[in-house]
């Protein structure tokens, strides 16, 4: 990577592929992970989160059906990042009724035009 690389050039196609079902899950990395998370979540069907701990890496999938993990390349070391990705990939969505109910409420927003406050 170089300073001229822009994370949206990588994250948008990744999020589109996940949302389309071409790939099941994705891993996005930028300096802090924040930009990658914001960018990925603009794609309907992408459920991305900035993760820096093992609990959230698994719980994000199990409870919230997270399908893209975002990691800060400048904030998380390589060995921790590897462990977070392994936890993310090993986790499975629980399909518990309460999580399905919540997920449907969030997914509904993917297809709603946003209103500007007056």
Residue 41's CATH number: 3.40.1400.10
Q: Does the residue 32 lie in any domain?
A: yes
Q: Which domain holds residue 20?
A: 7-108
Assess if residue 100 is contained within a domain: yes
Whether residue 88 lies inside any domain: the answer is yes
pTM: predicted TM-score of the whole model, two decimal places: 0.90
Q: Helix (H, G, I), strand (E, B), or coil: what is residue 29?
A: strand
Q: How many residues are there in the chain?
A: 118
Name residues whose C-beta falls within 8 Å of residue 50's C-beta, 6 or more positions apart in sequence: 32, 33, 34, 36, 37, 70, 71, 72
In a domain, 44, yes or no: yes
**Residue 114: inside a domain, yes or no?**
no
- On whether the CB atoms of residues 29 and 36 are closer than 8 A, the answer is yes
Q: Which residues are catalytic?
A: 30
Per-residue pLDDT of the chain (118 residues; tens, 9 = 90+): 677 889 999 999 999 999 999 999 999 999 999 999 999 999 999 999 999 999 999 999 999 999 999 999 999 999 999 999 999 999 999 989 899 899 888 888 888 777 666 6
The count of domains in the chain is 1
């Amino acid at each position: 990577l170089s300073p001229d690389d822009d994370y949206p050039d990588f994250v948008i196609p990744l999020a589109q592929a996940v949302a389309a079902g071409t790939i099941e899950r994705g891993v996005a990395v930028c300096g802090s992970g924040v930009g990658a998370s914001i960018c990925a979540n603009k794609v309907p069907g992408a459920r991305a989160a900035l993760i820096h701990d093992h609990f959230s890496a698994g719980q994000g999938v199990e409870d919230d059906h997270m399908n893209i993990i975002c990691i800060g390349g400048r904030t998380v070391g390589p060995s921790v990042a590897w462990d977070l990705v392994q936890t993310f990939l090993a986790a499975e969505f629980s399909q518990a009724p309460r999580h399905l109910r919540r997920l449907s409420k969030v997914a509904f927003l993917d297809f709603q035009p946003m209103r500007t406050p007056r």
